[in-house]
Amino acid sequence: MKISAQMVGELRERTGAGFADCKKAIEECDGDLEKAVVALKKKGIAGADKKANREASEGIVESYIHTGGRIGVLLQLNCETDFVARNGQFHTLARDLCMHVAASSPLYVRREDVPEEVVAREREIAESQVVGKPPHAVAAIVEGKLSKFFGGVCLLEQAFVRDSGITVGDLIKENISRIGENIRVGRFSRFQVGAR
């Protein structure tokens, strides 16, 4: 099958992947662009997972003030090099993350940041709600309730406000695969008039 420049261009626009990667994905998927998108995403997420252990000591602090000035967010987004820290795509990601924090009010960046006593309290609540259920199902139900809790309070596990089909963690992984460096949310603070 002949791969046209138009096909490669369309795939590049949809995924942000490089020319050679797009061409190879189209060839491997016999010209099916939908399959090529999925293949590139899988490859990108696998590549992002490999980069996750690399140190990210550069970055920016992005700010966002919501219309009306009643909600504000400061967010630290880290990357590996100052070159990427000046990249427009990196700044767009930081801005999107700030808007997400303003809209979704997460309490923690990642699951590991939730204090043990909070997890223990949530586990106790979940266990009290499954009294009388079959013993073999209790553990799965409790873990499901805990996952739902983490999905509500942890930034990386929340559904992204601009595309509920992906999590914030998935959005960051997509950007890692496009930019080619590890990206990590360092921390954030959300301010709201009238809230403590």
Token couple for 112:
């590991």
The share of the chain scoring above pLDDT 70, in percent, equals 88
The share of the chain scoring above pLDDT 90, in percent, equals 45
Q: Are 143 and 17 in contact (CB under 8 A)?
A: no
pLDDT of residue 102: 96
pLDDT of residue 94: 96
Distance, CA of 106 to CA of 99 (rounded, Å): 12
Span of 45-54, 86-95, 117-126, 172-181 with lowest mean pLDDT? 45-54
Q: pLDDT band for 46, please (50, 70, 90 cuts).
A: very low
pLDDT of residue 37: 78
Q: Are 178 and 16 in contact (CB under 8 A)?
A: yes
Span of 31-35, 43-47, 140-144, 176-180 with lowest mean pLDDT? 43-47
Long-range contacts of 22-30 (CB under 8 A, 24+ apart): 27/1, 27/3, 30/1
pLDDT of residue 64: 96
Domains, the chain, in order of start with CATH, read 5-51 (1.10.8.10), 58-110+154-192 (3.30.479.20), 115-152 (no CATH)
Q: Which residue has the tokens 């949530």?
A: 122
Return the SS3 of 102: helix
Return the SS3 of 141: helix
Identify the sign of the CA torsion 185, 177, 166, 94: positive
Distance, CA of 193 to CA of 143 (rounded, Å): 35
User: Span 17-36, mean pLDDT?
Assistant: 79
E strand spans, the chain: 58-65, 71-79, 159-160, 163-167, 184-192
What is this structure's pTM?
A: 0.70
Distance, CA of 75 to CA of 62 (rounded, Å): 5
Query: pLDDT, tens digit, for every residue of 103-128?
Result: 999 999 999 999 999 999 999 998 88
